[in-house]
Each structure stands twice: as structure tokens, then as C-alpha cells.
Chains A and B, each alone.
Chain A
């Protein structure tokens, strides 16, 4: 379409606006095309295909261990690969390493800030990473000498311009992936503290991230206050897929064990399942009676069960394929803020604003 004739002088002013309009139109066209392409392949619902699968029986899961010691809300926890140790972090500024079998505390570190919102165990089991309102992610090597002051060996790795919301080691102790209230995710070299890659695309705070199972390659998923879940290529920094179906903040994202899908939990009181190869949401886990937000989600080892920790103090257990709830677990006396299944799938651990952690099996 030919642009209307305008006087020579005004052309410089008009052109940027015209290009902007062009781009807006192309952007809208692409969005519509995306929806159409996705809709074409939406030939059936997951729960319909799953009708022929056997239903699940009754589940009896109970609290088997209660870990007491934090002085304030527990905000995050992670399992060690040895399947028995747990690291947890709290609003009280403390990071504690527990032996979940015996409930003994093995290490404790006091951070210089309160609200330690993120913590992670290194794959080797020899270090933990944590951070929060200090806008940093720091790594503490774990010493076998109980008398050694861990804080002295602290290494500052990541620096964001707002709070650290989540962190995870990649498949070695050498790199850490972080997400932040500054709207970005970043990949860091632990030894040098160097920024290796940054990931821009969220329009608001990023609240959570999860790395794809190592067999499926170098990607990770993040969720944010912009209601989007983004899948990223770790090498290029490119966002390769984006999903926006939640109606509120996404507090937690977790890959399905095969790496072909991921689940999310949101303040909109639902959990959802997104299939990466179909490039769309394929299930919603919700009930009219569930009105409080989901803070964290994780799958059982086979991917058949999805555990969700909720702000109404409960844990709901969902049949991933059929979309139905199979169990509701009570025990915590305040919000469940964090939930992870153990590496060998024998148990899962929850952390709560009631200051405790519970191990369920």
C-alpha cells in the first residue's frame, strides 16, 4: 500500500510511526497465525485419550518426618542427589542442611539478608547455593568439619538488580541458572562469577525456573508475574516457546520426567500441563472448591502424579493423565511454599510458612 503523499519536511517525523503500525499489524497477524496453527492440531483432549487408562486407587500418604528449626517462614528447599539430605532457606535469613532420615541439622548458615527465597543443592552434594533480597546468588561449600564457619568460604556468583527468586545448578557444580524480580534469568560460571548468558523476554518478575532433564538438551522453562511460561535455549539466550494461559502469576514450573512437557502452578488456583511438541496447554488441574494459589508443583517419578502445594495449607495430588484429584493432604499450619519430590521418588518434601518442613511418603 502506498503511503499518502506528505510534504518533504514532515516525512522524517511520520516514517517511524508508519513502521510501528506495520510492525503492530505483522505482530497481530503472527499471533493469529500461531493460534490457528495450534488449534489445527488440537484434535482431542488429553483426558479423553486417557479414558482407557486404569484409574488410580486410594493413596495413603502421611507425614513421616517433620523438620523443625527455622525461626520463620520456610521459603524454599531442595534435595541432595543422595536422596536423604535437604537444604532449606527461610525468611529468618538462615539456610539449613538436614539429614531427612534422622531429622538432624548438619549445617546452618546465616545470610546477611532476610527472605532467602531460593536455595539449591549442588549435584556433587558438596555445596549449596542461595539468595533472595540481597539480589545475589551465593555458593557455600559444605565442610565435613562441623566447626568450620561456612560463611567464611562464601562465594558470590550472581548479581541481579532485584530479588533472586530461584536458582538451580546445571548438571555440574560449575554453572548456576538464576531467575529474578528484575524480569530476567541468567546463567553464571560459579568459579569466576562471570555472566555466561542472560535471558530477556518476561515483562515482569520471573518467579521460578526448571532445567530440562539432561537427556533432552539445553533448555529450561521459567514462569513469571506476566502470567507467561517461557522455554529458553540456554546457549543462544533465545526464547523458543511461550505459553500464556494462566490468569495470574506463575509461582512454579516443573518439567515432566520425559522432558516433553512441563507443569505450572499459579495464583489463579490452577495447575496446568503444557506439551512442548504440541506447543499448547493440554490439561488444567482445578476444582471449584480450590480457590487459593498454588505455590509449587512437582511430578512423581513416572509423571503420573502431580503434587501441588497450596496457599490454603494443603497439598493436592492430581492424576496427570485423567485430570482428576486423587488425594488431598493436610498437616501444615500455614501456606505450603515449596515442594519437591526426592531424587529416587520415594518421598516428597514440603516447606511452609508454619516454619517447618515435612517429608511425606
Chain B
């Protein structure tokens, strides 16, 4: 590759990098305290519907039931 072509490649790459960074720098952000609170709220709202978290009785979990499955 000629040095002219190479430098225009580098230029194109540098322009794309700057453009990308401009986009990333311009997004709106929230505080970690708010983001954390929202994550915690989601967890607590959905906790009781989380079988792996709450543990569900063997009779309700098709994988825990070792007897042959009766498909309804």
C-alpha cells in the first residue's frame, strides 16, 4: 500500500473513532445510586417468581420430579 493510501486509511479510521466517541460522550447518564436502586427494585419485585432463587417444591418442578412425567 502506498504511503498516501495508508495515511488516508489512518485518517478514515481516526475520523470514525472521533465520530464514535462523540456519540458515546453525548448520551445521557444517571447516577449509580439511582441505577442501583432500580436494579434492587427489579430484583425484589420479581423475587417471588424466581424458582431458582426461592426454591420451589419438587412436586412443582418438572426437573426435580424423579417419577415418570405425566404430560397433561
Q: Do A and B come from one complex?
A: yes
CA distance A60 to B32 in the complex (A): 33
The reply to whether A303 and B46 contact each other, CB–CB distance below 8 Å, is yes
Which of B31, B32, B56, B69 lies in contact with A346, CB distance below 8 A?
A: B56
Say whether B46 contacts A46, CB under 8 Å: no
Contact call A37/B29, Cβ cutoff below 8 A:
yes
Minimum Cβ distance to chain A for residue B47 (Å): 5
Contact of A16 among B8, B27, B51 (CB under 8 A): B8
Interface 9-residue window, one of A19-27, A72-80, A180-188: A19-27
A contact residues, total (Cβ < 8 Å)? 66
Q: When chains A and B are docked, how far (Å) is the Cα of A186 from the Cα of B31?
A: 33
Does A301 contact B46, Cβ atoms closer than 8 Å? yes
Stretch of A118-126, A149-157, A166-174, A256-264 that contacts chain B: A256-264
The A52-70 residues at the B interface (CB cut-off 8 A) are 53, 56, 59-61, 64-65
A-B contact pairs, 13 of them (CB 8 A): A23-B11, A23-B14, A30-B21, A45-B36, A49-B33, A239-B23, A278-B31, A279-B29, A301-B51, A302-B49, A303-B43, A344-B51, A347-B63
A residues adjacent to B (C-beta < 8 A):
16-17, 19-20, 23-24, 26-27, 30-31, 33-34, 37-38, 41-46, 49-50, 53, 56, 59-61, 64-65, 84, 100-102, 201, 238-242, 256-258, 260-261, 275, 277-280, 282, 300-305, 320-321, 341, 344-348, 359, 361
New A-B contacts (17) at CB < 8 Å, excluding given A275-B36, A304-B53, A341-B52: A16-B4, A19-B11, A20-B7, A20-B11, A23-B18, A44-B32, A50-B40, A101-B69, A260-B35, A260-B38, A278-B30, A302-B45, A303-B43, A305-B50, A305-B53, A347-B52, A361-B51
